[in-house]
């Protein structure tokens, strides 16, 4: 009986040990399997993280590149605008009359100039100043030419001039078409606002207005034209200058700004410009009462002593704006010349001074500030004694001769 029990115990123990050994092997295999799965899972996680990091890296690179592209685009726009100004500005001129100034565009190599009628008013002949070759150069006598008025259009406020002795190598502006006009596109302007010569501005087209009516010019004419409404800054002195698009093509003539508003400016459209150029002869407004223009009369605003008490003076308004733009000075000291001062751009500073050395109203010489920067550009010589000089000399040459003496 004891033997049986002993054998039974041995067999049971052996079976339990075998079972136990199987369980350990199974656990070991399971552990290895789990370790493999965990390692494989970890590798997948790492792979997923690496892919995500790669995507993040790509996104970061894209953002950085985007920033660089944006910066480059900004720089490119500046470079593009500078190149556009360099290309178009030689086609823009400064127009000077006895009482005002404006802008104009060279439209062909024969020296024809497109501008607004209200810039030249009733003048038959005006001065045209061409841009010097370099932006830093001063205007010289060679840059200034006389031009005759060929024809005008009171209705659309346009005028065409012919330079009498045009310079060589003129660079005409190219014309666009009405198909180039689209709301929202960039547009550019070059002109001489308040005498600040060859000023560049840009904006966008806000709207296009058909048969738009406005008033202005000598006699307060009523004008009608298709006009381009823009945000491009325009001030007195810009009138008559070009409105052009990114390729440098003219699509309008900058003409007027909205009354008592900011950022609303108007240009006569290329369609009306082309019609005006093709039309023979002038066209006069039928909306002006009696079609009679009352020319502005010279009005003396003050006669009396000067502030320093050393002269008699006469302050006059020659353009009917209620503000003196001409001053005549008659010194009490008989050794001092009579003189007359002109303020053409309305900044209350003389830009022409003409002298009568013999005090007999026969004029001898004059100083001219053509770009209104406060420095003289020309000296005029009045051989015939008239108010208009016959010849000019660069002020720098005149001053050099004076210092050499």
Report how far Cα 182 is from the mean position of its chain's Cα atoms: 19
Q: Residue 330 CA to chain centroid, in angstroms?
A: 42
Which residue among 127, 143, 153, 157 is the active-site one?
157
CA end-to-end span of the chain: 155
Q: Alpha-carbon distance 280 to 294, whole Å?
A: 26
Structure tokens given for 362: 């026969």
Q: What is the DSSP string of 332-350?
A: SSTTSPEEEEE-SSSSSS-
Phi-psi region of 276 (alpha: psi -120 to 50; beta: other; left: phi over 0): alpha
Could you tell me if 104 and 128 are in contact, meaning their C-beta atoms sit under 8 angstroms apart? yes
Candidate list 105, 239, 356, 366, residue with the active-site label: 239
For residue 305, what is the enclosing H or E element?
strand 299-305
> Which of the residues 100, 103, 118, 154 is marked catalytic?
118
- Do 287 and 216 contact (CB within 8 A), yes or no? no
DSSP state of 100: -
d(CA 175, CA 149) in angstroms, rounded, equals 21
Q: Which residue has the tokens 């993040």?
A: 56
Query: Has 382 been annotated as catalytic?
Result: no
219: region left, alpha or beta (phi > 0 left; psi from -120 to 50 alpha):
left
Is 157 assigned a catalytic role? yes
DSSP track, 141-190: GGGEEEEEEEEEETTTTEEEEEESSPPSS--PPPB--GGG--TT-EEEEE
Element (H, E) at 33: helix 2-88
d(CA 368, CA 394): 10
CB 240 within 8 A of CB 115: yes
Task: Provide the annotated active-site residues.
Answer: 118, 157, 239
């Amino acid at each position: 009986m004891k033997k049986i029990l002993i054998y039974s115990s041995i067999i049971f123990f052996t079976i339990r040990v075998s079972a136990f050994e199987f369980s350990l092997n199974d656990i070991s295999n399971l552990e290895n399997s789990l370790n493999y799965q965990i390692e494989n899972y970890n590798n997948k996680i790492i792979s997923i993280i690496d892919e995500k990091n790669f995507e993040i890296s790509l996104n970061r690179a894209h953002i950085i590149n985007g920033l660089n592209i944006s910066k480059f685009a900004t720089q490119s726009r500046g470079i593009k605008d500078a190149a556009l100004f360099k290309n178009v500005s030689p086609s823009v001129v400064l127009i000077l009359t006895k009482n005002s100034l404006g802008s104009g565009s060279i439209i062909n190599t024969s020296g024809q100039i497109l501008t607004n009628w209200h810039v030249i008013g009733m003048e038959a002949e005006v001065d045209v100043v061409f841009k010097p070759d370099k932006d830093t150069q001063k205007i010289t006598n060679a840059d200034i030419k006389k031009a005759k008025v060929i024809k005008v259009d009171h209705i659309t406020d346009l005028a065409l001039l012919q330079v009498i002795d045009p310079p060589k190598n003129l660079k005409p502006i190219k014309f666009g078409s009405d198909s180039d006009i689209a709301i929202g596109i960039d547009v550019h302007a070059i002109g001489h606002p308040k005498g600040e010569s060859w000023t560049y501005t840009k904006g966008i087209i806000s709207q296009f207005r058909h048969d738009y009516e406005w008033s202005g010019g000598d006699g307060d004419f009523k004008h009608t034209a298709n006009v381009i409404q823009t945000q491009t800054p325009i001030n007195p002195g810009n009138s008559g200058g070009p409105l052009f698009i990114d390729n440098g093509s003219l699509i309008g003539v900058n003409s007027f700004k909205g009354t008592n508003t900011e950022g609303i400016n108007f240009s006569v459209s290329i369609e009306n410009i082309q019609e005006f150029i093709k039309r023979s002869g002038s066209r006069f407004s039928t909306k002006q009462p009696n079609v009679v223009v009352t020319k502005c009369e010279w009005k003396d605003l003050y006669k009396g002593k000067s502030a320093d008490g050393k002269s008699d003076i006469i302050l006059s308004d020659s353009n009917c704006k209620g503000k003196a733009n001409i001053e005549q000075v008659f010194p009490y000291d008989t050794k001092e010349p009579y003189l007359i001062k002109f303020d053409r751009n309305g900044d209350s500073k003389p830009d022409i001074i003409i002298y009568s050395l013999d005090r007999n109203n026969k004029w001898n010489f004059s100083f001219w500030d053509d770009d209104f920067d406060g420095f003289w550009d020309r000296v005029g010589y009045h051989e015939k004694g008239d108010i208009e000089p016959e010849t000019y000399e660069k002020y720098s040459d005149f001053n050099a001769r004076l210092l050499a003496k």
